[in-house]
Homo-oligomer: A and B are copies of this chain.
């Protein structure tokens, strides 16, 4: 076990037991303040540690990192240093924040320079995303969709259990948590017998997902195996793959979703490293039939991440509409990456690969309104008495995620976005 993951570690910085950011987490992000340009930070409790100033003050001297890596609007250059270095930075920060280490604890002047309240900073996109891929790897989600739109007796398509189905998505419209956007307009066909019409999407949905960020590039022709996949995964974020269901229905045959998805996707700002998530590995669904050899893997590769979705109407408090878990994934990240590159497709640092909607086996764990309300037939009651079939104008959708074990909670913070009325 990494020393930084030790459940008994405590920080001299007070961290609320319900905080997503104890000393065992130390996720990386990009923040700016009113007076400072974008730079690399690490979350600890209610604080952000400014790595650019930390480095300048000599706290990372042994690691010999050029400060341009930290005074940067993206984490890509930091990630490109390689896991040996980025893990060493996390370990060093863990050491510096430990209750029994006096270097920073007893240096109030340095603390004043390197610590900011999270509430005073503005989080930015953590990485410059090259390519973005979305998978479709939750068996409960795929089964629900197949049951609704195709045949309950043959809900899963023939390929589904043989390969992690995936497709390419739009990177440019992936935005950071807190970015509002307007309800998309588009072409739909509400009446079978009538021509298509143009107007605001009527069936706007969220999709509860996570995404992982590529931490090590490959060249064209190279393959990543399930065994070395973890070397290529820097960390994870929460991901809301906003979907316009009515646009999707009309456009998606035969080449897949396009305008139904590419108007916006929202991510949480802190990248939780794969290393911080290691203690929460668990097993997943048994894969039957047996997968082809390039998709086989050893050990526990699922991760026990609690995932909650809330809808907050404009003038009311939020209501929990789903409680799911990343452990319900049928295909693991390692398998997704092995599959993605088995044909020689190259990946780059900063590429983002999303899980697909993460639904669990029970109705309260479904990861989209489509499934939760079963195509709108079972509306969800909000705390303010209103009902939702899909997402209304001025609703904010908030996703939260965290692992918990042996008293340690390693979380992701929030992934939220508000839907403004169509322009």
Contacts and interface: CB of A to CB of B under 8 A. Distances in A.
Interface of A: 130-131, 136, 157-159, 162-163, 165-173, 175, 179, 181-182, 184-187, 189, 195-198, 201, 220-221, 244, 247, 250-259, 262-264, 289, 292-294, 339-340, 342-348, 351, 423
A257 B244 CA distance: 21
A131 B170 contact: yes
Contact of A264 (B220, B250, B254): B220
Contacts of A179: 220
Contacts of A196: 159, 162-163, 292
Given A130-B172, A172-B348, A220-B181, A187 B292 contact: yes
B344 A172 contact: no
Contacts of A253: 157, 159, 254
Contact of A345 (B158, B250, B262): B262
Number of copies of this chain that the complex holds: 2
A167 B253 CA distance: 10
A223 to B, nearest CB: 8
Nearest to A217: B172
Where chain A touches its partner, the secondary structure class is loop
A256 B255 contact: yes
A167 B165 contact: no
Given A130-B172, A172-B131, A343-B244, A162 B187 contact: yes
A339 B179 CA distance: 23
B343 A247 contact: yes
Q: From A184, A258, A340, name the one whose CB has the most chain B CB atoms within 10 angstroms.
A: A258
Contact of A339 (B163, B189, B259): B259
A74 B169 CA distance: 24
B244 A166 contact: no
A158 B187 CA distance: 13
16 contacts: A131-B170, A157-B254, A159-B250, A162-B187, A167-B257, A168-B168, A168-B258, A170-B345, A184-B344, A185-B342, A187-B292, A220-B264, A252-B255, A253-B254, A259-B340, A263-B343
Q: 5 closest A-B pairs (Cβ-Cβ)?
A: A256-B256, A184-B343, A167-B255, A168-B168, A255-B256
A189 B160 CA distance: 13
A254 B252 contact: yes
A271 to B, nearest CB: 20
Contacts of A259: 339-340, 342-343, 345
A225 to B, nearest CB: 13
A170 B171 contact: no
Contacts of A173: 220, 344-346
Contacts of A198: 292-294, 342
Contacts of A172: 130-131, 345-348, 351
